[in-house]
Amino acid sequence: MSDNLFDDESINFLLLSNHEQQYSMWPSMLAIPNGWRCEQGPWSHQQCVEWLQLHWTDLRPRSLQLLAQADQS
């Protein structure tokens, strides 16, 4: 077991997202912080990492993604 819950691969996590479509792996036994919502889980640490690698390919906040799209138009 790790000293830090966020690094502990033996516990389950939730995948949270915020209004900017950014994600966070969150220990499932902790309350979800304001401004975040549960998108997936509870899953193992590895399952969360795999999902993030597949689905969260642009780490920029959604507002910056939209600005970049507008500049390309």
Instruction: Give the count of beta carbons closer than 10 Å to the beta carbon of residue 32.
Output: 13
The range of the structural domain enclosing residue 14 comes to 5-72
More confident residue, 20 or 65: 20
pLDDT of residue 57: 84
Number of folded domains that form the chain: 1
- Provide the pLDDT for residue 37: 97
Query: pTM for the complete prediction?
Result: 0.81
17 touches 9 (CB < 8 A): no
| Direct distance between the N- and C-terminal alpha carbons of the chain, in angstroms, rounded to an integer | 50
Cβ 27 vs Cβ 11: under 8 Å: yes
What is the tens place of the pLDDT at every residue in 1-59? 568 998 999 999 999 999 999 999 999 999 999 999 999 999 999 999 999 999 988 87
Q: What is the pLDDT of residue 66?
A: 79
Radius of gyration of the chain (CA): 14
Q: CATH no. for residue 60? A: 3.90.820.10
Handedness of CA 52, 54, 56, 58 (dihedral sign): positive
